[in-house]
Each structure stands twice: as C-alpha cells, then as structure tokens.
Amino acid sequence: MTVAPDSVFTRLARLTEHPRATVLVRCAGALSGQDVTAAQLLDGCRRTADALRAAGVRRGDKAVVMTRDAYHLVACVYALISLGAVPVLIEPRAEVRRCLDEIAPGVFIGEPLAHVARRALGWGRGQVRTALVTGRGLPGRLLGRSLPLAVPDGSGPLPPVPEPRPDDLAMIAFTSGSTGQPKGVEYRCATLAGQLAALDAVLRAEPGDVLLSCFLPFAALGPLLGLTTVAPQVDHLAPARTPPGSLVGPLRRHRATHVLGSPAVLGLIAGHCVRHGLTLPSVRRVLSFGAPLRPRLAEMLAKALPPGAEILSVYGATECLPVAAIDAQELRVRPPAGHVGTCLGRPLPGVRARILDADGTGLGEIAVAGPMVSPAYHARPDATRAAKSLADGALWHRTGDLGRLDGEGRLWYLGRSAHLVIGEGFALTTEDIEAAADTAAGVRRTALVGVGAAGRQRAVLCVEPEPGARRDAVVEALRAVLGDHPDARRIATVLFHPRFPTDIRHNSKIDRARLATYAAGGRR
C-alpha cells in the first residue's frame, strides 16, 4: 500500500502542535539573531497572506520572492502557497530579465535592493503589476508598496490551510544555469510533497533536532521537515566569501545536529575548525549537495565531528531533489572494473533511476522517476519535451548528467553531458579525470575543458592550486595520480588558474564555458 506523502499544508498545520517551539532562527550577524516560534511563524504567514490579498495578490498569481532575510522568505513563501499563488525563486544574476520574460510574473516581492535592480535592469517590465517591498529600507515607498513583515507575537489566529489538489502549481524555482540559460522548474503540490518525503528519508530527523541550512531556500523547508532551522548569514551572492565565523558561530551556539551546504560552504566550515582547533560535538549528519563532494574535504570535516556522525553527499537537481545519497566513507570505494567517476549511492526510497542511450560500457544519461520529479519547465515546452518522457507508467526526467548503474544498483556520476570533451577519436568525461586529479597534493580543484569544435577538441586540464603550492610540484603530483589512468594521455595541456569561476548559487559548480574561453586564450 502506498501512503500519500504529507503535503506542505499538512506539515504547516502540524506546526500548531507545538506552538511555542522555536522553528526558525534568523541570524542577523555572527552573534545576534532572532528566534521565531511556530505560533509566530504561522501568525506571520497569516498576516502576510492578508497583506498580500489586500495588495491584490490572487490564486494562480506568479510572485517573484527575492530577499536575503530568512523570516521574510519563509513567511512570504508559505503565505503565497496558502493563497494558491505561486512563489518564483530566482537568484539575482545576469539572465534574470530573460528568465522573467518567460515566466511573466504579475507580482514582485523583494528587499529594497532587489527592487532597485528590478527597476534598473528591467526585470519583469510590462508584467509586474504589484511591487511589494520587504524590510525597512530608505527608498522603499518609491520602489513599491511596503509589505509589513515584522515578526508578530504569535497570539493571532492561525492561517487557514486549505488542502490543495496534487496537480496545482505550487512553486517555480530556477536552475542554476550551468549548462545554458536557467530554466524555471515547476513544482506541483505533489512534487513538493514528494521532495519533503524523500528529504525525511535523508535527514532522519528526531524531535529537538536543529538544522543549520547554509542554502537559504532550504530554510523554508526546514520547519516543514520538523527541524528547528537556523539560517546563518551567508553571502548569498558569493557563498564561498562568507566569513566562516558566521557559519560556525551559529552552528555551535544553537547546537546544530544537521548541517546542509554546498561543498564550497562546507569547506569554509571545515577550514575554520582546523585553523582554530574547533570541534562540532552536536552534529550528527552533514549533507553536501550541488556538486561532487571530494573525499579530502569529507575527511577534513570528519575531524571536527564526533564519532559516528555521518557526512552524506546528496545527489539531485532543481528538477529532482533528492535522488540518491552516499556516506562519505563509501565515496572512497573503488569503481568496479571499467567504471570510473564518482559514486552517488543508491536511489532513495521511492526514486527510480535508469541510464538512457547507454554505450557499450553502460555509460549514458541518468534519468530519474519518482514523486519528487518536477513534471515540466514553466513556459518552456521545448525544454520540457527534451527532458521528460513517459515510460513504464512513470514520468522520467533526463538529468543531463552522464553516469552508470553498477551491479549493486549504485549510481555513478561522470559529469554533465554538455561538458563532455570530444576530440579526434576520443571522448573524455569530466568527472573521470577530475575525481582522480583532485586527489593530487597541492591541488584545490581541477576542471577538464575542451578547446575547439566538438569532435576536434583539445583536452585542457585547468588546475586551481592550493595557496602557496609550487607549480612544478603540483604537475609532478598530477603525473603521479593520473599515471595509470588510461585516458590521461589525451590531456594536451595543464593550465593553472588562480581562482575558478563558479555558479553564484553554490560557488561549487565550475563555470566550464568561461574556463574554456580562458584556456583558448581569450581570457575572461
């Protein structure tokens, strides 16, 4: 018998069971913060929903929410969903205008700076009819109507939470755009419920657990997953530049049991602990996501954790999160003969994975099916057609990732198919080379890029060295770790780069298009 997963609404309603429990902690700085109880959050959602309704926001309206404040984000997202309106999450970056032109949002809710950018850069021009400003800001009134979002005392009535239809559109979240223009991913109510159920299986939270969420949108899911959620002050435009103390301070102060972040952010935490001789005795589970977790980082992190704590690398994408998870100790498993790349673990309960268009060695594109898979891109029928298909009574999503399934049902990751390096008579997957090259002493990370036209590309291994590492020593170390790699001879050039360009969401996905331009000599 399959049990329908709890919807966002069931989970919201469940927050009323312990109204005085802290569910969200907003960190305004390394030392200060504000605790929000379940009653305050629900009261705040109701007030926000009332204010949105009064401003003319209606069921089905698409509303961009752009704020760095965790409470504002959570209150707005829950309030919009409870009204049947659709929150749209997108990072402030170069392509926002084009992305919003596709989505055509009628409502824009954001902090003053987001509205300044909206006005200056024409985001949603001709579409946004209701502009609402969150937080206190000088030019607020010039930019739009102010949305009152002070944390209430929690004594007001709780919001009515109607049970929606599973197929109702609940949210749109944009991909990070590492293989082209970001796409707006549709989450139906059933998709969100599926994601929450799959995340329950990964987090395995117990009453009283505390999540430090270093990725802001995830702070909105934490309370629904039954965790008190701490939102530290991350530099959301450049997470890797966050002062590590503003992550480790709240983690230790609030005795986080679960920590969630990208490898770049987890690297900050691990580095800070090593430098200051700190330990993190409260932590039971660390979740890394967004890019491969390297064993070296996992080992550094493990030194700060108590015995028995788990470090998991969680694989997924905006369109399907989470898909699989692997304990860092297993990351070191040797691939079965002929298999290369990085192990992602087994698909989570309820998730199915298969390899499409596999070659003779079993390598092909990873496709996934399950309740957490988004059924469509918003207003992009071409992209939806290319990525989704029906088979065996399920909707399958092509991830754009290359991989394999081994005899034990484990998935292996070989990189994105868009990043395959195709030269004369050979094809190199990025993860095949990089997983090995990243183990070399003095190497921070590597990226394999192709220079030239596909089919005649030159393989260039870009290397970001550790600070202070000597180049000749790094090249020697690379020779040693790639020595017996069957495809290492295909690498035409090793090129040093001081700091790789990365995505703005996680600072963990290497911007390979820019590196390839750099490698071709047209430095950017």
Ligand X SMILES: Nc1ncnc2c1ncn2[C@@H]1O[C@H](COP(=O)(O)OP(=O)(O)OP(=O)(O)O)[C@@H](O)[C@H]1O
- Identified binder of ligand X from the candidate list 37, 134, 178, 242, rule CB under 6 A: 178
- Shortest Å, Cβ 117 to ligand X: 21
Taking CB under 6 A as the criterion, the residue among 318, 430, 502, 507 binding ligand X is 318
Between 87 and 400, CB nearer to ligand X: 400
Under 8 Å between Cβ of 367 and 356: yes
Binders in 396-455 for ligand X, by CB under 6 A: 399-401, 413, 416
Q: Which two tokens stand for residue 287?
A: 């979740």
Residue 34 Cβ vs ligand X, minimum distance, rounded to whole Å: 29
Question: Whose CA is closest to 482, among 516, 448, 519, 518?
Answer: 448
Choose between 78 and 413: whose C-beta lies nearer to ligand X. Answer: 413
Query: In this structure, what token pair is assigned to residue 262?
Result: 């990208």
In the three-class reduction of DSSP (H, G, I as helix; E, B as strand; rest coil), residue 272 is classed as helix
State the minimum distance, in angstroms, from the CB of residue 289 to ligand X: 5
Q: Considering the complex, what minimum distance in angstroms separates the CB of residue 368 from ligand X?
A: 10
Strands 352-356 and 107-110: unpaired
Task: Determine the Cα–Cα distance for residues 384 and 102; give it in Å rounded to an integer.
Answer: 14
Torsion angle in degrees (nearest 10) through CA of 244, 249, 254, 260: 10
- x/- mask, ligand X, residues 341-380, rule CB under 6 A, reads ----------------------------------------
Q: Does 173 participate in binding ligand X (rule CB under 6 A)?
A: no
Q: Which of 22, 40, 175, 228 binds ligand X (CB under 6 A)?
A: 175
Applying CB under 6 A, the site for ligand X has a residue count of 24
State the nearest-atom distance from the C-beta of 466 to ligand X, in Å.
Answer: 22
User: Would you give the binding string for ligand X spanning residues 116-155, x where CB under 6 A is met?
Assistant: ----------------------------------------
Can you tell me which of 39, 109, 266, 291 binds ligand X, judged by CB under 6 A? 291
Complex with ligand X: residue 83 or 173, whichever CB lies closer: 173
Alpha-carbon distance of 459 to 457, in angstroms, equals: 6
Minimum CB separation of residue 176 from ligand X in Å reads 4
Q: How many residues does the chain have?
A: 524
Region binding ligand X by CB under 6 A among candidate stretches 113-121, 136-144, 178-186, 464-472: 178-186
Exposure letters 209-228 (e unless 16+ CB within 10 A, then b) = bbbbbbbbbbbbbbbbbbbb
Residue the block writes with tokens 């404040």: 69
| CB of 16 or CB of 181, closer to ligand X | 181
The beta strand positions in 147-283, using DSSP E, are 169-174, 184-188, 210-213, 228-231, 258-261
Closer to ligand X at the Cβ: 209 or 365? 365
512-522 burial, b at 16+ Cβ within 10 Å, e below that, comes to bbbbbbbbeee
How near is the Cβ of 244 to ligand X at its closest, in Å?
22
| Nearer to ligand X (CB atom), residue 119 or residue 514 | 514
Structure tokens belonging to residue 177: 């755009």
The residues, ordered by sequence, that sit 6+ positions from 453 with a Cβ below 8 Å of its Cβ are: none
Minimum distance from residue 178 beta carbon to ligand X (Å): 4
- Cα three-residue angle 206-212-218, rounded to 5 degrees: 90
Between residue 244 and residue 283, which ones bind ligand X under the rule CB under 6 A? none
Member of 87, 152, 292, 423 binding ligand X (CB under 6 A): 292
Q: Where are the alpha helices (DSSP H) in 104-220?
A: 112-121, 140-143, 189-203, 216-219
Q: In the set 193, 212, 317, 383, which binds ligand X (CB under 6 A)? A: 317
Tell me whether residue 175 or residue 282 sits nearer to ligand X (CB atom): 175
Q: Smaller CB distance to ligand X: residue 222 or 292?
A: 292
Min dist. Cβ of residue 215 to ligand X (A):
10
Q: How far is the CB of 278 from ligand X (least distance, A)?
A: 26
Compute the distance between CA of residue 225 and CA of residue 204 in angstroms, rounded to an integer. Answer: 10
- Rule CB under 6 A: say whether 84 interacts with ligand X: no
* 73 closest CA partner among 171, 155, 1: 171
239 forms part of the interface with ligand X (CB under 6 A): no
Q: Which is nearer to ligand X, 71 or 174 (CB)?
A: 174
**Nearer of residues 84 and 347 to ligand X, judged by Cβ:** 347
Taking Cα atoms as reference points, which of 273, 297, 292 lies closest to residue 283? Answer: 273
Do residues 311 and 331 make contact, with C-beta atoms less than 8 angstroms apart?
no
Q: Which of residues 494-523 bind ligand X (CB under 6 A)?
A: 509
Instruction: State how far the Cα of 420 lies from the Cα of 44, in Å rounded to an integer.
Output: 48
Residue numbers of the site for ligand X (CB under 6 A)?
A: 175-180, 182-183, 289-292, 313-318, 399-401, 413, 416, 509
